[in-house]
Structure 1
């Protein structure tokens, strides 16, 4: 009997110790959860320093066997350090996350984000690839990996269309009307820049500047300039022409970028005054361009070709690329047509020279991106020489066809 009692007592003691350990772990976990939740709330409020302190307290309060929680807390710390620009600390926390739970994709994603911020795109690519291998359907990882490979190439280019990419969710009745008009006008807006330095200019920013900014931000690009192909309001924003000006609605555009983002507005000198007045752009923000001007966005060169006709200061932007040059043609050249010649300031003779003497002389392989979606996203100089408005024609015949 005494042996049985001793065995029973030992078993009871062990059970009590086990229950005590469980209670301690539960208490620790509850404390960790509270600290983690407080840290997450600090992140939501943008108080990243406080979040880091709270996550550190949570880490110090939990058992080393709580691997999932340890990995999650190091991941959160990495994110907060990254937001503060503390890249070394962010990378250290990401590596600790990987060490704690190497089968979790988030740790590799965190390290990739830090490498991307460091502009070590080769290392970022490897980490994103590892992260994706552990989470094959994660669209965020796929997007970031695509941006990284684009950065390794060095060229950043986006063609944006209202209703598809921006002008999506109006905040009030006025914005709803503006977005509706944008979808009818079918303007293309372009983002062009250096994918390595993460700098870009926006070409023909109008209708939804907030939406355009958001796209650039999602791609981790900094807007450093606004380029205008010509002065019409659907490419610049500002006051629409009569009779719509009576509505008192101002279309967002280059003014917001010039004033709020403090970026220069690049426009041909012959359209500069109109843009400045109709958009109330500070004169200090206007950069007047001559024919053949060149501006640099990181290592990317934008070559400006003065192509009057649709307006006196219409200009196209040629972007030389190793495989195929790009031309942003504004309203000078469309797929199978050209910009209107029946508006004030139009000049059919000048348009003939712009098309037949300037654009038609570009290499056939040049890909042309127009200012509106009138039949597709792009064409080529070869196609327009064969069946469009770059087909050879005499000036006399051209003027007869476009007599206004």
Structure 2
């Protein structure tokens, strides 16, 4: 586990990057996505941080590499709360949506989990000492979200899978994606925590990354 900035960590990579915010409160730890490797999450015990203190998990979208161990987490951490956008809720909460979750791509079966809250629009989720700005950024999937958190005066953007891929079975929409990327550019984030390609900083590198993929993924005329 590596600290990115005060109270914000990169937990590790296993099919996707998992990030974590220590709320410095009784609300404990917040995961941004869960990944597919429970052992990786169990090994966060450092910096005075304990696995048992994970109380929240914000899911950026419904793909198996981001949600694969949610059911396992809920068995080990009985009070953990899961959050996602309502447009990706069905494949997260219901069985037999292997196309939407991309579970079939990995040759695994997804075990559904109940969501504590389903976002219907952009909102602020207050957890402990932090405001988590939930931003609906459809394109990769209909219910894709990005999350903005501030630490030490820096805007940290959790923008998982901003690169895509885009597929009909995911219900991807490149026109929606273009609007979403424009919305993220307007945030002028200082740090981007991406789902598969690492951490980008400062602001000009964040901007370059988003603009690059916005340019590469134009809708067909």
- Asked if Structure 1 and Structure 2 have the same fold, meaning a TM-score greater than 0.5 normalized by the shorter chain, the answer is yes
Larger relative contact order (CA 8 Å, sep ≥ 6): 2
1:298 aligns with 2:123: no
Asked if the contact 1:367–1:381 (Cα under 8 Å) also holds between the matched residues in 2, the reply is yes
- Give 1:280 deviation, angstroms: 3.6
- The normalised TM-score by structure 2 is 0.78
Aligned-pair RMSD on alpha carbons?
Answer: 2.9
Asked if the contact 2:160–2:194 (Cα under 8 Å) also holds between the matched residues in 1, the reply is yes
Identify which of 48, 64, 74 aligns with 1:219: 48
Task: Say if 1:257 and 1:226 are closer, same or farther in 2 by CA, change over 3 A.
Answer: same
Partner in structure 1 of residue 72 of structure 2: 256
**Deviations along 1:47-72, whole A, 9 cap, x unmatched?**
xxxxxxxxxxxxxxxxxxxxxxxxxx
Partner in structure 1 of residue 199 of structure 2: 377
- Give 1:297 deviation, angstroms: 2.6
Greater fraction of residues in strand: 2
CA distance in 2 between counterparts of 1:281 and 1:341 reads: 23
Q: Which runs of 4+ in 1 moved over 6 A?
A: none
Per the alignment, in what secondary structure is the counterpart of residue 382 of structure 1?
Answer: helix
Q: 1:357-376, aligned counterparts within 5 Å?
A: 358-363=183-188, 365-372=189-196, 374=197, 376=198
Greater fraction of residues in helix: 1
- Give 1:257 deviation, angstroms: 1.9
Partner in structure 1 of residue 100 of structure 2: none
Identify which of 41, 57, 60 aligns with 1:229: 60
Larger Rg: 1
Partner in structure 1 of residue 33 of structure 2: 204
Per the alignment, in what secondary structure is the counterpart of residue 151 of structure 2?
Answer: coil
Size of the aligned set, in residue pairs, is 200
**Deviations along 1:224-278, whole A, 9 cap, x unmatched?**
11111111100110xxxxxxxxxxxxxxx11122233121111111101111124
CA distance in 2 between counterparts of 1:233 and 1:398 reads: 25
CA distance in 2 between counterparts of 1:254 and 1:274 reads: 13
CA distance in 2 between counterparts of 1:389 and 1:157 reads: 21
Q: Which 5+ residue runs of structure 2 have no aligned equivalent? A: 96-109
- Give 1:343 deviation, angstroms: 4.7
Q: Which 5+ residue runs of structure 1 have no aligned equivalent? A: 1-146, 148-152, 163-181, 238-252, 333-337
- The normalised TM-score by structure 1 is 0.45
Partner in structure 2 of residue 5 of structure 1: none
Per the alignment, in what secondary structure is the counterpart of residue 320 of structure 1?
Answer: strand
Asked if the contact 2:12–2:40 (Cα under 8 Å) also holds between the matched residues in 1, the reply is no
Task: Say if 1:300 and 1:321 are closer, same or farther in 2 by CA, change over 3 A.
Answer: same
Task: Say if 1:371 and 1:286 are closer, same or farther in 2 by CA, change over 3 A.
Answer: same
Task: Say if 1:223 and 1:361 are closer, same or farther in 2 by CA, change over 3 A.
Answer: same
CA distance in 2 between counterparts of 1:383 and 1:223 reads: 31
Partner in structure 2 of residue 319 of structure 1: 149
Task: Say if 1:288 and 1:188 are closer, same or farther in 2 by CA, change over 3 A.
Answer: same
Asked if the contact 1:258–1:281 (Cα under 8 Å) also holds between the matched residues in 2, the reply is no
